[in-house]
Amino acid sequence: MNATLPRYHGWSLFGLLSLLVLLMTGAILLLNPDLVEATRSAIRATARTSFVLFLAAFLASAFAVLVPSPLSKSLVRERRFIGLAFAFSHLVHAVLIYSYGQLNPEFWPGRTTVGNIPGSLGYLFIVLMALTSFKTPAKMIGPKTWKALHVTGMWVLAAVFTYSNFKRIPMSAWYVLPFGMMCAAIALRLVGKLALRNKRSQRHAYS
């Protein structure tokens, strides 16, 4: 990230990414005269920004192992703030969904409890991971619990994104693209884990 955004890192990077999400959302809402349709468009747009930010955080460690470079190292270094920007983007996404439900009374009755489980579980992990991205909550739960929470949360969110895009393929063939990207990202992360394990094994063998 420093290679492309040298002036932005840490909280300044989080601020920049969050501001871009807000500007995009505001532009969509202002430029579309139909508020209901504008809100739907903003929901789709923030889903995409969340998807991109999640992929950046999800693949950071794999890229650092498989493609070591200043950019991949900076992705790992800034992963916390990219993750927080993802959480912010998905917060905006949630607010838009709630607003759409208020504008369109048929929206919530058309959804089932079972259908809401994946999204609700995803948001639960987003909240927990965001809260424990700060020092005090992280110290309270301890490093082992912190790692277990964040690793589990990343895989749960990966599963939610994969399922959400897969189930929408019958609605639009466009969803094949993000579904394929998510499958590729999962494969890359697993390959990165194996490569890291092999490197550690080699170090122990020569030590």
Residue 171 lies in a domain: yes
Residue 190 lies in a domain: yes
Residue 114 lies in a domain: yes
Residue 3 lies in a domain: no
Query: For the chain, how many residues are written?
Result: 207
Residue 128 lies in a domain: yes
Please state the pTM of the whole predicted model: 0.90
pLDDT at 198: 82
Residue 5 lies in a domain: no
Give the whole-number percent of the chain exceeding pLDDT 70: 95
Per-residue pLDDT tens over the stretch 129-174: 999 999 999 999 999 999 999 999 999 999 999 999 999 999 999 9
End-to-end CA distance of the chain: 33
User: Domain of 64?
Assistant: 11-202
Residue 4 lies in a domain: no
Residue 82 lies in a domain: yes
Check if the beta carbon of residue 1 is closer than 8 Å to that of residue 78. yes
Token duo for residue 84: 């927080």
Query: How many structural domains compose the chain?
Result: 1
